[in-house]
Amino acid sequence: MKYDSEYYTLEESGDSTSYMLNQIEGSDDGLERLMSLFPIHRKVLGPGRVGISEGNRAKFQPCDYHETAEQLVSEKFRQVLAPFNLPGVDFYQTNIVNGDKIWSEHYYMHIWNHHQAIHKKRSEISGTYVGDRFTLLKLSLDEEVLDQVPLEKRLVFRLREDPTFLFHESVVAALSAADLSGLGFRRVDSWSIGSAFEEDDDFYDDL
């Protein structure tokens, strides 16, 4: 269970939660494969386009993080991650469009670095591990798997079995120090499928 206290999930917080953003017409067709586990840079030929599907458009100002079907981050967010030289993490320039206003310094973050790291006995699921046909209810990470992976190759990764993205505490510390808007983190050992809807004033769990 040692890694359950070292890794965090990324969640919306603050003003970001007041809006829902989605891809709109004109977004590059290659970005439809963004949730793929594989690199897609050869599929993407132009920028993405995102519009507001829910929320007060008149008051909208972009945050540094918006949880879309993918993960939409600002240039400031991207620059915090740059020194880590993260393997299997790509950024695709994406415009946020709101009427005649366009914000161009945002990116879809595609995480295709993945590890099969769910501890099957300690985690809780609804469904079956066979063919990965399950919904993850509570997560515990498999130390035997992650012990075999050098830290620099698992600072940020996606679970191979499930589209859950995990951030190492060192990356979280850098992001939290950058005073970014619209995001919070929840440590794996306090995460559950319903935790995003719980009142929690301490996303960062004493980093």
The residue type of 80 is V
What pLDDT band is residue 196 in, cutting at 50, 70 and 90?
low
Residue 206 lies in a domain: no
Residue 90 lies in a domain: yes
Residue 1 lies in a domain: no
Residue 205 lies in a domain: no
Domains held by the chain: number: 1
**CA distances in angstroms from 119 to 111, 122, 136, 152, 167, listed in the order given:** 21, 6, 11, 21, 17
User: What's the pTM value of the predicted model, to 2 decimals?
Assistant: 0.90
Residue 184 lies in a domain: yes
Residue 74 lies in a domain: yes
pLDDT digits (tens, 9 = 90+) for 39-85: 999 999 999 999 999 999 999 999 999 998 789 999 999 999 999 99
38 token code pair: 């594989």
* Domain hosting residue 95, numbered range: 7-196
Question: E strand or H helix at 41, and its extent?
Answer: none
Question: E strand or H helix at 171, and its extent?
Answer: helix 169-177
Residue 14 lies in a domain: yes
Rounded distance, CA 172 to CA 194, Å? 21
**CA distances in angstroms from 10 to 25, 98, 114, 155, 182, listed in the order given:** 27, 25, 16, 13, 10
Residue 22 lies in a domain: yes
